[in-house]
Chains A and B, each alone.
Chain A
């Protein structure tokens, strides 16, 4: 209450702030209209009364925006139409507003009041889109309004509106970062939301606003893990990435005692098999480390998502496994690092051959595939890979050929056995016609030879010959360096090469010149007899070179190697300096050094930190307290018990908890997972309420037959030894409560559901069945009433194959059976089960008869609905109610006078009793003497309107307006009974 008054104050305040702006507006509008004449026709159309003309104009304007043309001068004319009734015009105006509001802030304020009205609209879509546009208008002055709107929407009964609120949070944050603290409160509230629709969006908001507040996740961690599979795919990506970070802070490193994996994994094994095996092996090996069950939960719940159709989800799961799972489990997933840009789900293919290259692949994909092949190469498969490489070398794409040669070099360094083969292959390439190929080969050969030069003097000789032909400077330089380095192995050729080079020195490129000097110096040191003069000649040439690097080098070397009287002690060490043993180079992948970024992130791809990148924290030394993730028992049951749609494959899941709920319809699970209302406080409030009203209803029913009592007692007895069941029951009651809040219709506090008996324990030989009308929409068929059944097996023997048979119905009625229920074991935790069936009663109170069959017995049972359950609540405004009522006069109206029960004289009690008796929702009403309710019958959708007008001393008048007179009459009776007893 206080919140809403605060809101009103705020609104009043803001409008008073807005006032002077309004006064200012026409002037600025005038400036615009006088400035531009060219859109006059559009303006005229916008000002006309016809929606079709307006629509046409807006379409043209939006087309202009789409093409990037400036349409900002139409702003005043367009804004006027923001309140237009036509939904399409409205939408297009929104599009326009969002685009230009930032530029014309003052004028944009004109539209704010429309959105504020929209935020109160009964239609959830309109509420949501009003919030969307309001939050998208980047006008600083309305920040407080936005803040209020977001707060309000965050506790809206429609999850769609709450989702929109979650989206609005980062928008507001980017507009005014000072609101952070308040926004975090909203995020916290929304994080507790249990609908899959909201989860993805709120985590997104969390990531943008307060990624450092990891503590907000604790309480929601298990819920998020369990909901994950049902969240839409985009939300999944965001949640998985966030959970990766979370897990890194909360759990211990599973690989702590093991050596780091190598990249040369055996690729012939199926990834999944491998994972399982590895898991077993890892479990056996790892004694001190025990994985936190929550850590395991995350890994287990994300795994099925590997089969998502969305590559982004698959990638997200892959990176999660890479960063969090024991390394053995992910052995192969490392590959995805390189192929994150490939748009194929086939990237999970662990098989080598998938990375074979086609000549039509784009270059960057070829290079990536090559990278993968190189990393995969090991002793066993290298021969096939090399054969494959040979084909690539002939390719017409020269960049690709160069990359292939590099790859061969890397294979050769990594795998000692094939070094000779590779080298021979590369030497053959030296005679290639394409210079680029030759040059690249020379460079790679140089690196390879450095590893074992003594064996390969003939190759060096061969390369020496090449100096006559090869023109690519890098290659020439490489050859010269090689000859210089290994001049001892080719004592005869080296001086000759130097001679040739000295001749062409002046025409060489700089890097070649440097290497010539280098070669000369080395030869001078080893073979000064033959090369003294040559060296001096080269050094003299270099002395007068244009490039100062070369001049410097020449001077330096001369001082170092040519002993003169002035030269110091250094020349003694010249030989050591020049001919020191150099370590062999390591051929590295160009994709190295990226592993410090989170896989699959933009930063990882670019190898540079992108804005907003969140570092993946290191594993903690000791695990933080795992109990922070514990939630109160009631909730934890709910979290675990949320059977999601995609889980329902196994009707009775392996977990005991799940078994006790065992929703058999996806819809039923929907109600469990998808419909609880947002705020924690609200929930606890409603929970206690349900408790109370349960007691209330019990006392009411005291007069009822003994049997009824018996049943209740039995139920209680049953509950006691089985705490899970109890919490489940309360849970479900809480559920249905908030559920009715959720459906767009109800505002009135709905009351506790009444249980009816279908099969008594004694007649059912231990199996007792109760049912209630859950008042939730039955999704497979909107015309059906959902009937929730609770099976309790108190017999000593198992009950199996519970199903329905031989349904006998009045004409027109239909039944949607619940699927067969599996084994019910007696007297243990799992002795109760739920199922939901749907019945279309055709708006009559005729009973539906059928047989309930177990594997041994059949029981004849029937379900007869009270008339109040044949309707569903709808939302009407006061005016709509009056209008509809006006149309349902005369025969359709039934009025009864009554005296209210002593306990039922206040408004709250009346509402409570009426909504218990009939599934109706309350209609807001100006006078406090009247309570109004509205609903529609389930099958024929006829309106049902109920009015209770109270007078002095408990006198009251009940009016029911309904097209179906039978229903009306019966409803009057039922409500009368409810109000007078």
Chain B
């Protein structure tokens, strides 16, 4: 299936190549570079390219291109999913997925890739199985290894690989048994000029951090599970229980994992936590424009809105911005034409405002479209959909675990058209 993998950095250098079948020359990437040159934005590179003998399937993650080469028919999503899984694994192992980190851990990366695919077909992608085979690097271990000549590679088959719960390894032991769940919701919304909601929905995810001894069997139930639709689960969740009782019943993987993602549809009224009053004008003459933005709280359930930030992709003709902000500060990047206004906490008594003038290239025609505003925000201890965890029960083990749930609401793709 997957023939080879090339990792390519932002400037177009191939810094890692791995072949699972016979070697394919890296010149095959030239086709990719050609297309990449044409596409202005790295995101605009089409994920699947056809070359005379190969097909190139790529993803763009963390300023890196993961480019895989396939020769025969294969579901493209299969490859794309797998590449994302590779990137996730790097993230999991090294804390981030960047060129520097991969170069520093080249051998571990190579060993990982070797384990993840056999003959181009995924072999082991569960992170706990991989971690038993190839231990993630840490300073203490590397010191010990240099002294004792030990290795980072396990010599027995990870128990997870054979069991029916491959995501959990056997013999987990903790002195503090804890299970924490984060309910994170992102609001995707498009507001039009007048502030009415064109479209809004909530993408939610339940992240879990479970450190429990033995083989616990957990049941997580919600106060209002009917809210959710379009869920997708970690493989550990039992479908039947969810379908019949609307509870999440599972034997958790060890450590951090994503338990489920869900979706609260636009039919349920989605609360929009802030309102935006904006006025952006470009004048026909004088090659300048005016900008005036005010943000105020709307439906935020009595919580404070934090981390407020406005990002505007200005038209190419805007040369500079001369603005004053009553709160926070703003930057205008001349090369990318991105205006960022970092506000911070929203104070309902004194609404933040940004106003001033924009200067444009002389003689250029006025832009037809006003740029839209991308809003970023955070609300702690609130799930905007109203979702609440009612209880977590543990079966199968005798001890009492520490349990905790945290809620967080963020802005996802929150856009205001102007």
Contact = CB atoms under 8 A, between A and B. Distances in A.
B369 A395 contact: yes
Contact of A125 (B157, B163, B242): B157
Given A360-B413, A611-B71, A666-B165, A645 B170 contact: no
B14 A307 contact: no
A135 B118 CA distance: 10
Interface in A48-92: 50-52, 55, 59, 62-63, 65-68, 86-89, 91-92
Contact of A171 (B119, B125, B153, B243): B119
Interface in B234-284: 234-235, 237-245, 249, 251, 258, 261, 263, 265-267
Given A197-B162, A358-B190, A160 B368 contact: no
A341 B76 contact: yes
Interface stretch (B78-86, B286-294, B299-307, B344-352): B78-86
B110 A364 contact: no
B215 interface: yes
Interface residues of B, number: 111
Interface in A144-173: 158-160, 163-164, 167-168, 170-171
Interface string A232-276: 111001000100000000000000000000000000001000000
Interface string B135-151: 00000000000100101
Given A234-B122, A394-B368, A666 B266 contact: no
Contacts of A316: 75
Q: Tell me whether chain A's interface is mostly helix, strand or loop, or mixed.
A: helix
A646 interface: yes
A467 interface: no
B45 to A, nearest CB: 8
B155 to A, nearest CB: 5
Given A341-B76, A602-B55, A612-B73, A309 B368 contact: no
Given A362-B41, A670-B163, A782-B171, A234 B78 contact: yes
A249 B56 CA distance: 32
Contacts of A94: 114
B24 to A, nearest CB: 11
A469 to B, nearest CB: 15
A351 B265 contact: yes
B265 to A, nearest CB: 6
A265 to B, nearest CB: 17
Given A51-B149, A86-B151, A358-B190, A780 B214 contact: yes
Interface string A195-237: 0110001001000000000000000000000000110111001
B75 A602 contact: yes
Given A62-B107, A602-B76, A648-B238, A343 B59 contact: yes
A86 B78 contact: no
Contacts of B110: 62-63, 65-66, 95
A359 B315 contact: no
A646 B239 contact: yes
Nearest to B44: A362
Interface string B342-376: 00000000000000000000000101110110100
B178 interface: no
A673 interface: yes
B165 A356 contact: no
Nearest to A603: B73
A540 B242 CA distance: 80
B278 to A, nearest CB: 15
A584 interface: no
A780 B171 CA distance: 9
A323 interface: no
Interface string A495-525: 0000000000000000000000000000000
Given A197-B162, A343-B84, A128 B76 contact: no
B215 A780 contact: yes
Nearest to B80: A343
Interface range, A side: 35 or more
Contact of A102 (B22, B72, B80): B22
Contacts of A648: 238, 240
B232 A308 contact: yes
A674 B166 CA distance: 12
B157 A396 contact: no
Contacts of B313: 359-360
Interface in A683-739: none
A674 B160 CA distance: 13
A319 to B, nearest CB: 8
Given A167-B123, A645-B164, A613 B199 contact: no
A779 B172 CA distance: 12
Nearest to A91: B153
A340 B258 contact: no
A606 B238 contact: no
A647 interface: yes
Nearest to B413: A358
Contacts of A204: 1, 121
Contacts of B76: 340-341, 600-602, 605
A124 B157 contact: yes
Nearest to A816: B396
A311 B81 contact: yes
Given A606-B50, A650-B240, A779-B170, A340 B77 contact: yes
B73 A86 contact: no
A667 B233 CA distance: 21
Given A86-B149, A396-B367, 8 more contacts: A66-B17, A88-B152, A351-B265, A353-B201, A606-B50, A649-B245, A670-B163, A781-B214
25 contacts: A66-B109, A86-B151, A89-B151, A95-B114, A99-B23, A128-B157, A167-B123, A196-B164, A230-B164, A232-B122, A232-B166, A309-B233, A309-B258, A343-B77, A346-B230, A348-B230, A349-B265, A359-B371, A396-B368, A433-B368, A648-B238, A649-B241, A650-B244, A779-B163, A779-B215
A-B interface, 3 closest residue pairs, ranked by CB to CB distance from nearest: A649-B240, A649-B241, A612-B72
